[in-house]
Structure 1
């Protein structure tokens, strides 16, 4: 069997707030927008947000969805066009409420990379190769 990843869903306690953040901070267009589920337009893999309540209901009440997780479980990496776009995007992310984690820097593998936290504390990356 060879599986293909087609959807990445962040589980959240605030779907509307997180959808607003990803729209304003990273420019996603919201294709589906409800209280418990949002889908953001993305080429390739679908990016969505789901409430803990909805995932618990859909999974038959699995407790992992009801109790918020502690610690980082997933990192999203967003590729940009240039080192300058990484610097500009980082400043923009902070102005939209992202938490500062690590300012843009050239990493040992050659990418210009910055780390930020979304409103629920998930740490993600913006970078250029």
Structure 2
């Protein structure tokens, strides 16, 4: 079973420092992990992260279009509570008919990830982050 929650929305940034400055100019609060290489902002429901577009596409196992405006690289993430839940959740979405883009693997930042596409090719990440903090409703509030 996969938890019924969206934990993180990641925007693939072509010019991350510029996009980061934009969200900061809106007065949005950043998490301490933010930098010009990766940035995370708190919102009322999920965390919004900015990640280099080419790295996001490579991470998900998809081809990045040559035209920056043709596709906006966005992933939706479901964060699970335990490392082994990544594998179980991917199996559940596979059985539901999802296209597996990347099998579960350990991430360089210490967690575990997998990627899949739903029937209309929306890209989802299943992730376990050992430092994730959730609120009482299961919303991720920090990591």
State the TM-score, normalizing by the size of structure 1: 0.46
Q: Which has more radius of gyration? A: 1
Q: Larger helix proportion, structure 1 or 2?
A: 1
State the TM-score, normalizing by the size of structure 2: 0.42
